Structure 1
Amino acid sequence: MVRPVAPRATGCEECLRLGSFWVHLRLCLTCGHVGCCDSSPLRHARAHAASVKHPIVRSMEPGEDWRWCYVDQSYV
């Protein structure tokens, strides 16, 4: 059973603090961290996954429901 995770923010947490921008948002399915995608300049979702070892994210874009594993570099 998949445990629902609530987003901790409405935008990329680090970009909001830095005053930067993002292209798309990703939700960490372990802790609810919201980070920006690899097309964004600072790639905070990938950095979060690497630093805290939370490998799976879900797209937060409207109409998208896919999940990505940074360890396996594949959709899950």
Structure 2
Amino acid sequence: MSPTSCSHLDQIEITELPEEVAGCEDCLATGGVWLHLRICLTCGHVGCCDDSPGKHATAHAGATSHQLIRSLEPGEDWVWCFADSLGMRIPQITGQTRIPPSPMLA
């Protein structure tokens, strides 16, 4: 996957992933549940994937025009651009994040 077709790489502000997150920020605030976690590469907002009831990562992108997310799931290093519908890997984004288990799998 190549980032060459993505026109939003200039939105990347987060290049070092956090050591740990508590879960989807929106689900934690509302008592919701998530399946997989994604981080906004512009502001660091942690939201849940589209297989989660709240679809908070997509909702955040729509509300803010922040187009790039990265998976926080163990073993996954892909980035997704919502506007260009493009998946890619960006090796300049480093670190691994400890995440809690999904409440949907409990």
Q: Which has the higher contact order (CA 8 A, sep 6+)?
A: 2
Query: Structure 2: how far apart are the matches of 1:56 and 1:33?
Result: 11
Unaligned runs of at least 5 residues, structure 2: 1-11, 89-106
Q: TM-score, normalised by structure 2?
A: 0.65
Superposed, 1:1-76 pairs within 5 Å as 3-7=14-18, 9-76=21-88
- Answer whether contact 1:24 1:40 (CA < 8 A) is retained: yes
Deviations 1:30-49 (A, max 9, x none): 00000000110110000000
Please say if residues 22 and 40 of structure 1, whose CA atoms lie closer than 8 Å, have aligned partners that are also in contact. yes
**Per-residue deviation, 1:10:** 2.5
Answer with 1 or 2: which has the greater Rg: 2
